[in-house]
Amino acid sequence: MLKRILYCLILSYQLLLTGCASTSNFLGISTIDQLIDSHQYQKALTKIQSQKPINQALLLQVTARAEKQHKKQIYKIDNLIKQKKWGEAKSVLNTLKNNQPNLISLPALHIKIDKYQNEEDRLLKTKRALLEADLLNVQLLQQDLSERILYDEVNWLSNTDNLVIKKHTLADKLLHLSTQALLVKDYYNAQKTYEKATDLDRKLTANEITDAINTGLSQQNNAAIDERKKSLIRQLYLAIDKENIEQILKIEKILSNKIFKGSEVDKALAKAEKFCLKSMKHLDERAATEYRKGHVSAAVNLWQQALKLRPDNIDLQEKLIRAKKVHNKLIKIHKSEE
């Protein structure tokens, strides 16, 4: 009996020794290596710091690995945001929050995910509400047609009251979506939803919303014009550097429009003017040289190029007219000789 008891004790001891790893896992206790492998860096660092003396080399190693994993997961979250995978992005973010020692950038990321998710939701709701408004207008027209057809008959299937209630409810929803669009400076949808809302219910007309939309659209338009102006100026300077006369004339014509104004525009146009006058003078001199040599056809071609730069130059116009007359006479003489 005693031998059997001793044998059981020895066997239990052996099992305890060989199964210590599995026992620790069962009890929820993990080693530092296991914590690192599962990317639980916060727990790993806490465990290292609880040991005396602290293993500074291991501490630095785990901190470095945590930072590397942190950057990798942040990059992954940014990609998920671009793909509009909001749930997956939040899942990765929550895992990062539970396992990382560095949590500084995480709240901002959470706000970013919510912002873009809410924006997509707002746009979908706006699209749906606008479609519902179009459908409701058709339903109202159908109801009106039905009433005109029946005229003096009792219409037991009339749905007019329900449609009127639906009309006012939808108008309120559209007005709310209009104010939401204004908050994020989406003036296009703010205008569309507001117009639909007031079309359904004239009582909802609000001057402050109209003013806000008009002001926003005006600012947006001015910003677009300013951006276009800067782009044209950059293109003009580049065309001048490359001596691309055709491009210079094209951009110069656009930039001379009244909507583009300011000292930067004046400066760019002045530079283009200087370049064009210089090029025109050079072409004029070359044309005159060719004309004196008797190369009338070449002269005509060069004066035509010069006139493209400044079509209103009377002196060039007269030279070209004379050269063309001489050129035509030479052609007639050549034909008569043949």
Chain segment 177-215, per-residue pLDDT in tens: 988 888 888 888 888 998 998 888 888 777 777 788 878
Label residue 3 by pLDDT band (50, 70, 90).
Answer: low
Taking 50 as the threshold, does the pLDDT of residue 266 lie above it? Answer: yes
How many CB atoms within 10 Å of residue 129?
A: 20
Give the separation between CA 123 and CA 141, rounded to whole angstroms.
27
Q: Specify the pLDDT at position 25.
A: 44
Q: What is the DSSP string of 306-321?
A: HHHH-TT-HHHHHHHH
CA 262 to chain centre: 28
State which H helix or E strand residue 276 sits in.
Answer: helix 263-292
Question: Based on the number of CB atoms within 10 Å of its own CB, is 152 exposed (0-12), middle (13-18) or buried (19 or more)?
Answer: exposed
Of residues 93 and 156, more confidence is placed in: 93
| Least confident piece of the model among 213-222, 233-242, 277-286, 308-317 | 213-222
Comparing C-alpha atoms, which of 211, 203, 207, 213 is closest to residue 183?
A: 213
Q: Specify the pLDDT at position 164.
A: 86
Comparing C-alpha atoms, which of 304, 300, 306, 301 is closest to residue 284?
A: 306
How many CB atoms within 10 Å of residue 313?
A: 17
Give the separation between CA 32 and CA 38, rounded to whole angstroms.
10
Of residues 19 and 179, more confidence is placed in: 179
Q: Specify the pLDDT at position 1.
A: 52
6, 7, 18, 31 from 14: Cα distances, Å:
12, 11, 6, 21
User: What is the chain's mean pLDDT, rounded?
Assistant: 83
Q: Give domain limits for the chain.
A: 2-119
Residues 6+ apart with CB under 8 A from 139: 159, 163
- The answer to whether the pTM exceeds 0.75 is no
Residues 6+ apart with CB under 8 A from 100: 41, 42, 66, 69, 70, 106
Question: Based on the number of CB atoms within 10 Å of its own CB, is 132 exposed (0-12), middle (13-18) or buried (19 or more)?
Answer: middle
Q: Left if phi > 0, otherwise alpha if psi is -120 to 50, otherwise beta: which for 257?
A: beta
Unique residue bearing structure tokens 């519902």: 132
Give the separation between CA 208 and CA 191, rounded to whole angstroms.
13
Number of alpha carbons in the 13 Å side-chain half-sphere of residue 180: 17
Give the separation between CA 189 and CA 128, rounded to whole angstroms.
12
134, 149, 160 from 146: Cα distances, Å:
19, 5, 11
Of residues 234 and 13, more confidence is placed in: 234
Q: For the range 179-187, what are the long-range contacts, defined as Cβ-Cβ under 8 Å and sequence gap of 24 or more? A: 179/209, 180/122, 181/122, 181/126, 182/209, 182/212, 182/213, 182/216, 184/119, 184/122, 185/216, 185/220, 187/213, 187/216, 187/217, 187/220
